[in-house]
Structures are given as structure tokens and as C-alpha cells.
Structure 1
Amino acid sequence: MIRPKPVAGQALARSALDRASEHRLDQAWLDAAWARPDTRVLVLAQGRARWSGEAGEPRLVLVDAASAPVGERRLLGLDAAGVAYFAVDVEKLPEPAEDGHEGGLRELGTLLDDRDAGLLVHATGLHHWHRTHRFCARCGQPTESAAAGHVRRCPACGTEHYPRTDPAVIMLVLDRDDRCLLGRQPQWPERRWSTFAGFVEPGESLEQAVARELHEEVGVVTSATTYVASQPWPFPSSLMLGFLAYAVDDRVHVDGEEIAEARWFTRAEFKEAMDTGEVLTPGSLSIARYLIEQWYGGPLDEGNHW
């Protein structure tokens, strides 16, 4: 079994399950796994699920297969004990138990343990993809779910469609003096600052995307890039690829459309700006915070974020 290691500091890049992809086309295995009494099912509606427990230590409410509502079944994987986990997508969540609550990744992503975080990220990504890919892009006919929820197949023309993942680069810019550059988007509230990001275009490498986005948004010319880490971002279907980018000089020219303001910070200036509340940093859900922490040299104050 292949169980990915959790990535420290990245709330959405965690999992404790083997995805068991070799079983997705084996309908007999899937039926047998569903019939087992220890199988656990996550019920999802519009990207939201039931959870219970204290707000600081929530656990997803998982049900056995016999209690699961009727809906599309999607295999999420197996745990170390061989227990199978599925998701069922429904229009409306069942009524909660007395101690039940409802939430999605934005509320729960940083609070869940590795198993539950991985379950909800996987199920949410599949939910968004299925919801927006009901018809065949080749012939326009309705498609059907297949491969335990990881393929949509067109019965009319036979085309198979796979879950969409949109690569996006996200980067922290450093200058020769090891200062970092942060920016503000025009629509953001005052004091909200973050790293820079953008989607990878067709025919473009990741390094080219980093250089293009930074030049377009803040006029920065880069001399090199270093890959740091990646993070799924199923809102609805992105994969965030994190980089450090090194600027040739400290010249900045914001485009005024995507970026309203950009500012260089030394570590001392950044700490002072956080302490005074002049700067609010990204929350722990985003890899942007992880990139800043790598440069800063330690965790940021959990009370200082937007």
C-alpha cells in the first residue's frame, strides 16, 4: 500500500490513505468493499460535509455503507488496516445528529487530522469536477461516472474524460538583500498582503509561468526560481506549485489591475508590520503562508492572518 506522507505546514497536502487506484476498474472488488461492515462513507453535498466534536478538534462524520444515502459512489482509498473509504455525492446532507455540524474545506481544512483532511480534499475535488463535466466535450452528449468516480465516460462516442487539474504557480519573490516582496490585490481589504500567483498557460513551463506572471503583475525580472512544494487547491480544481523567485533588482511596477500595491520587507520590517497589524498574512490553509514561513525562518503568529 502507498500512503503519502503528510506535508508539514500545508493543510491541504495531507493524507493517511492509499488511494487504491488499481481497484477502480474492478467492479467486483468495489461491490465487495462496499458490502463490508467496516467500510466508511463520507457524505458530501455541494462540497460540504457533516462533522462532530469540538471546534478545535473536529472529525468528519462517516457512516457505514448500509446507512449511506443513495448517490454516486467514489472510492477514496484504503487505510493501513485495509478499511475502504468512499464518498457519496448527494444534493442535500442528511439531518445532523444533536452534536453534528456542517462545513467545507475552507472552514475545516486546517483543523482536521491527516486522514480526514485527505478525505475531504479528495472528495471535494471530485465533486467540483463531476458537477461541471456532465456532458462530453467531443460530442455534447451526457456522460456517465466510471472508474469509481475518477473517469466520466461518454456512452455515445466512447470518449473518456479525466478529472481536470489546473496548474498554477505561486511564488515568493526575494531580492539580493534577501528581502521578500508581497502584494495586495485591488479588491482586497486594507492590510491584506500575500505572495503572487497565476495560472500556467498552454505550452509554458512552470519556470516560464513564474517569470511571466511576475513581470506582468509587478514588473519584476527574475534571474532564477527554486521549487519548494505543491498543494491541491480544489476551489474548484487547481494545483498550486510553490516557488521562490529571485529578482534581478528591486525595481517594482504594479500593473494596477491584478496588483494594486507591492512592497519589499526585511524580516525585521515584516515582523514589525505584523506586530502593529499593518500587515495581515495569508491563513494556514494556503501554501502562501508556508512560503512566507520558509523565508521568515519560523511559524507566523496564528492570530495575524486574513
Structure 2
Amino acid sequence: MRHAEEVTFGGGGLNRRGDLRADAAALYALARGPMARHLPIWRGKVLMQGPEDAPTLAPQPLSSPALEHALMNVFLGEAPDGAFWFAHDITPWQPNEILEAPDSFLDRSEQIYPGLEEARFIELRAAMAQMTPLDAEIAASARAITGWHATHGFCAKCGAASVAAQAGWERHCAACGAHHFPRTDPVVIMLITHGNSVLMGRSPIWPEGMFSLLAGFMEPGETIEAAVRREVFEESGVPVGPVRYLASQPWPFPASLMIGCHGEATATDITLDPKELEDARWVSREEMLDVFAGNNPAMKPARRGAIAQFLLSNWLADRLD
């Protein structure tokens, strides 16, 4: 698929610079150099600035009081302009204001650190579609790696506390010597078509009117193609024949890799698994164009920035090849 890397969180051009991760002296100098960019992360939210329709990352100087709360920092890599990016998890900071209960699907609340009134901590899903490709890639990487550290503080082999290593890209256990690496969970998401129609489904916990492409986690020992066929049949009862890969998207909520595929259904009868889907239906191109235009009150368009919207848009534009 020629447009595969146009998906949100992909194609930003960040060079991970794995060659620097073991060089503590070089990273120490880079972190204090003029091209250093230090990005605070608070409870998974990214510090951003600017208007809602064009937010940008808001890195802070290493001397910023905000960074004094940091549990740890991670070297993210080098941007095309030569800037070196570091993520700092400042989760211990407690905002003065009382937070409103977030929406069950998306936390739209924003937090401001004292003295940084022009910036605010934003849930990445609320801003991802308005960000530049580079900012989105940096933010996704920062959220994913700091989130992994927050939930993997102990060795999975012996249970002892582990410590960050390799500039934040590993955890080491001093007790048994085990090395642990960031986790990414592969998820297949499927554009299943039959003739001029696409299969759409909705989870029981989603907001009213929200539909998307079917998706599910891959299982050990399973190919991508087998996972596509299994997930679609388990959830909807629809059998799938030929399957091909289209595009992928890092999805740091908390740690998935969305693997977008096109599958051709060999039958159209739907038998729902009510534990997985509340509804599933075939939607024609013409109907989906109305959905994207906001003219279908029963179905909302897929969320901007998500790979489902990307795949559906390219299907509607006949750009899957």
C-alpha cells in the first residue's frame, strides 16, 4: 500500500539512535546540550502548547521545576532537525485543581503545571489527528515507553525489583540477571469487504453511534492471516478468504501495534458474539460516504487519527493498492 506510512504515529522520521543507548557519557552531554528537548509526560498525558487545531509538543529546559518530579527519563532519539528528544515521566506531581471524572471513553480534561500556563497536559488521543507526523511519533513513543516502565517495575522471572537500563529501553534485574524489553502487543484490524460493502461493528461499551472495523489480539503461534480469519469469524460469524497486509500503526494505549489488513468475505450472513459485539452490519460505499460526511445519524465516522479511519478513507478513494 503506497500510502501506508501516512497513518498517524507513522512516518515522522525520528531516528531512534540505538547506538547511543549504552553510551551514558554521550547521552549526559547531549541532554545538557543546545539541541536537547525534554518532554514531560504526566500519567500518560503529553505536555503540549498552541491552538487546539494545531497543538505542538512543549519541551522544557532541563532546569525546569517540572522535571524535578521525574521518576525516570528515556532517550527517544534524534529528530531530522538534529534535536535530541528525552521523555520525563513526572507522574508524582499532584495538580492543585480537582480533576473532573473523565469520560469513560476519552479523558478530555487538561492539566496545567504552575508557571507553564501556555502549555497543558493533554490526552494524546484527543490531539493526535491535529499533530505533525514527527510530533505524533515522538509523543507516541514517549507515552508507550513511560507507560511500560510504570507497569513493569518487577522482574517477571523472579519477582525482584528491576531497574531501567539502556537509556530507558530495557529493565535489568540484579537478583537473577534477567533482561526485560518493552512490550508491544500485535493486534489485527480488518477491512473486510464483500463486493461494494464493508463490515462494521460496535462494542457494547462504545459511545452511541460509534462503529469501527473489527479488530482483535493475535495469539501465540498464529500468522497475521490466520488471526484475521479467526477474529472475524469469532466475532461476526463471517468467513474470510484471501487476506493481505495494508498498513500498520503504533497504538500506545497502552502498547499495541495495529496491523491493518484487507480480507475478502466469502459469505455475508452475520452471527454476533454478544460478548464482543453489540452490533455488526454491512455498509455500502455510498452509505459510508454519507457517514464520513456526517449525514448518517445512526453511525458516526471512525475517529480521525485511528487506523480504521485511514483504511476506510483509502478504501473509499480506491487507494488500497
TM-score by length of 2: 0.86
Q: State the match for 2:107 in structure 1.
A: none
Cα displacement string for residues 170-214 of structure 1 (whole angstroms, at most 9, x for unaligned residues): 001111x23111112223343221100000011111111101001
1:293 matches 2:313: yes
Q: C-alpha displacement at 1:98, in angstroms?
A: 3.0
Q: Tell whether the 8 Å contact from 1:167 to 1:240 is kept in structure 2 after alignment.
A: yes
Counterpart secondary structure, 1:65: coil
Is the Cα–Cα contact under 8 Å of residues 6 and 16 in structure 1 kept in the other structure? no
Match for 1:209 among 215, 219, 227? 227
How far apart in 1 are the matches of 2:147 and 2:114?
A: 23
For 1:98 and 1:161, the matched residues in 2 are separated by 38
* Partners of 1:199 and 1:214 in 2: CA distance: 11
Check the 8 A contact 1:6/1:15 in 2, yes or no: no
| 1:239-296 alpha-carbon deviations (Å, 9 max, x no partner) | 0000111111212111122112211122123334551322112111210111111221
Q: CA deviation at 1:298?
A: 7.3
Letter in 2 for 1:45: W
| Structure 1 gap segments, 5+ residues each | 300-306
Are 1:195 and 2:192 counterparts? no
Residue 79 of structure 2 corresponds to 79
Q: 1:256 to 1:6 in 2, by over 3 A?
A: closer
When residues 79 and 138 of structure 1 are mapped into structure 2, their CA distance, relative to the original with a 3 A threshold, is same
* 3-state SS of 1:63 partner: coil
Against the structure 1 CA distance between its residues 262 and 81, is the aligned structure 2 distance closer, same or farther, given a 3 Å change threshold? closer
CA contact (8 A) 2:189 2:308 kept: yes
Which AA in structure 1 matches 2:48? Answer: W
Q: Which position in structure 1 is the counterpart of 2:51?
A: 54
- Say if 2:219 is the partner of 1:219: no
Q: Could you tell me how far 1:14 is from its partner in structure 2?
A: 4.0
**Runs of 4+ residues over 6 Å off in structure 1:** none
Q: Structure 2 stretches of 5 or more lacking a match? A: 94-111
Residue 64, structure 1, aligned to residue 64, structure 2: no
CA-based RMSD of the aligned residues comes to: 2.0
Does the CA contact (< 8 Å) of 1:38 and 1:64 recur in 2?
Answer: no
What is the aligned counterpart of 1:158 among 177, 180, 199?
A: 177
Asked whether 1:124 is paired with 2:122, we answer: no
> 2-side partners of 1:146 and 1:229: how far apart?
32
Q: Which moved more, 1:124-133 or 1:75-84?
A: 75-84
TM-aligned CA deviation for residue 230 of structure 1: 0.4
| Partner AA of 2:288 in structure 1 | F
In 1: Cα distance, 2:202 partner to 2:19 partner: 44
SS in 1 for 2:130: coil
Structure 2: which amino acid aligns with 1:278? A
Does residue 1:228 correspond to 2:246, yes or no? yes
Matched, 1:45 2:42: yes
Q: How does 1:1-306 map to 2 (within 5 A)?
A: 7-8=5-6, 10-67=7-64, 69-70=67-68, 71=70, 72-91=72-91, 92=93, 94-175=113-194, 177-272=195-290, 274-297=294-317
CA distance in 1, matches of 2:22, 2:86: 15
Q: Output the amino acid matched with 1:289.
A: Q
Distance 1:261 1:6 in 2: 29
Measured in 1, the distance between the counterparts of 2:312 and 2:115 equals: 39
Verify the 8 A CA contact 1:73 1:89 in the aligned structure 2. Answer: yes
Distance, in Å, in 1 between the alignment partners of 2:219 and 2:4 is 29
